[in-house]
Structure 1
Amino acid sequence: MYREHEAPAGLACLWTRESTEPYIARVVPDGCTDIIWVPDTDHLFVAGPDTQPHPTTIAPGRMFGVRFPPGAGPAVFGAPAHALRDLRVPLTELVPGARLSTPDEIVAFALDRLRPDPSAHAVASALRRSPVSTVAWDLGLSSRQLHRRCLDAFGYGPKMLQRVLRFDRAVSLARAGTPFASVAAESGYADQAHLSREVREFAGVPLSQLIRP
């Protein structure tokens, strides 16, 4: 069972996953970066921003995670987000000596190294509502500058980031019970067929299957 928990300011959420039997979890792009700890094996690693579905075999036991909002992870790990894209990397490879063994230690580590970036937040907010060219103009950036900033902060170029943010909103709305036709309109898709194609690309399954408990 996967559960999200309230997190201190600056973090997206804390989460736990518990299982009694092995199963495959479908991790999909959301623009976020996570620190994940598996107590039974003491495996502590970073999950970078994904661009595609990432089926993951979950062993019996418990997992604990700290999720950073889009654009917030790179400062914590001292690496540009694109260097972590689609990867799972031991935390000690990024931060030597970071040997953490309790949820409280992991949260304290994350908060201590967190450096909020107002410009990253501004870019993400703007891309949720405006075309890429408009965002670059409004922020006083060239297309190349915007692209470089997005790669460093989010792991994606601005067009991919826009698609991932739109997809993540669609999934959140669908899980909250919003009818799929309304999900497409409220998330910014041209129509329900457009939504279906994007969900297939990012999740590998239809939306109805993706949100199934």
Structure 2
Amino acid sequence: MYREGPAGMAGAVLWSITAPAQPRPVRVLPDGCLDLLWSSRAGLLVAGPDRTAYLSESAPAEDWVGLRLPPGVGPTVFGVPAVELRDRRVPLADLWGARATRALADQAADAAAGLGALDPGRVGAVLVAEAVRRLRASGGPDPLGRRVSAALAAGATVAETATRVGLDSRSLLRRSRHLYGYGPKTLARILRMRRALALARSGVSLAEVATRAGYADQAHLTREVQALAGVAPRVLLTA
């Protein structure tokens, strides 16, 4: 069963899942975020920002705990531009080195050990503490990350967003690739899809969702979701 909740740091989400005895691929939708992952089998990993849905596969009964960082925050925590991690899952040691990663892995293993059933909160607390420590050591995340993603999530156009944050289009593109892994147009498409799906899950009809989320019509909504998620909206909503 998948669970998620506040992580105790602004805008971040702590999530966990345990794979069944006969696991199937899980469709992870793009969101403009980077995740710090702990796996009972694979150890510590980083999930980069995806441009399209990622099909995650697990071993039987594998436990996962993840810290999903807000859009634009991951590069400060991990120390690399988001574009270098785009559409990738990489060992944390590739970014932080073996020594630092081993120390964090030992803390996570201690938190998970001897509990009978996994307590994701204890493992998650280890991940959150390290992320907070690194953010503080770096002077905090780039404030542009929150400003740009908030504007686009609210439905502002790329041109409107550039004006609000005081950047020309080329500078916004360069900074967005660093912060989110892709340009503002791609981020806007992803955030609009997520806004549309949230509306649909609240009971709004797809025709009305298309209008309220800024699509030309329901067919446009379906094409965009199909392109980004790999399946039609109704498939996602009934999964």
What is the aligned partner in structure 2 of residue 113 from structure 1?
A: 134
Question: Higher helix share goes to which structure?
Answer: 2
Is 2:9–2:128's contact at 8 Å kept on the other side of the alignment?
Answer: no
Deviation at 1:137, TM superposition (A): 2.6
What is the aligned partner in structure 1 of residue 88 from structure 2?
A: 87
What is the CA RMSD across the aligned residues, in angstroms? Answer: 1.6
C-alpha distance in 2 between matches for 1:120 and 1:6? 19
State the identity %: 47
C-alpha distance in 1 between matches for 2:47 and 2:38? 11
Deviation at 1:158, TM superposition (A): 1.0
Aligned residue runs from structure 1 range 22-41, under 5 A: 22-39=23-40, 41=41
Alignment length (residue pairs): 212
Deviation at 1:25, TM superposition (A): 0.4
Q: Does 1:156 align with 2:182?
A: yes
Cα 1:7–1:178 shift into 2, 3 Å? farther
The 3-state SS of whatever aligns with 1:152 is: helix
Is 1:73–1:81's contact at 8 Å kept on the other side of the alignment?
Answer: yes
C-alpha distance in 1 between matches for 2:37 and 2:143? 25
Is 1:26–1:54's contact at 8 Å kept on the other side of the alignment?
Answer: yes
What residue ranges of structure 2 are gaps of 5+ in the alignment? Answer: 112-122
What is the aligned partner in structure 1 of residue 18 from structure 2?
A: 18
What is the aligned partner in structure 2 of residue 70 from structure 1?
A: 71
Aligned residue runs from structure 1 range 91-170, under 5 A: 91-96=92-97, 97-99=100-102, 100=105, 101=108, 102=111, 103=123, 104-114=125-135, 115-128=140-153, 129-170=155-196
C-alpha distance in 2 between matches for 1:58 and 1:211? 23
One-letter amino acid of the structure 1 residue matched with residue 94 of structure 2: E
Aligned residue runs from structure 1 range 41-60, under 5 A: 41-60=41-60
What is the aligned partner in structure 1 of residue 221 from structure 2?
A: 195
C-alpha distance in 2 between matches for 1:136 and 1:161? 13
Q: State the Cα deviation string for residues 110-141 of structure 1 (Å, max 9, x = none).
A: 12123233211111122233221222233221
Is 1:126–1:135's contact at 8 Å kept on the other side of the alignment?
Answer: yes
The 3-state SS of whatever aligns with 2:160 is: helix
Deviation at 1:211, TM superposition (A): 2.7
The 3-state SS of whatever aligns with 1:23 is: coil
What is the aligned partner in structure 2 of residue 205 from structure 1?
A: 231
Q: State the Cα deviation string for residues 67-120 of structure 1 (Å, max 9, x = none).
A: 011111110000001111000011111112223224122121112123233211
C-alpha distance in 2 between matches for 1:196 and 1:188? 13
C-alpha distance in 1 between matches for 2:67 and 2:32? 14
C-alpha distance in 1 between matches for 2:35 and 2:197? 19
C-alpha distance in 1 between matches for 2:216 and 2:163? 24
The 3-state SS of whatever aligns with 2:238 is: coil
TM-score normalised according to structure 2 size: 0.83
C-alpha distance in 2 between matches for 1:76 and 1:18? 26
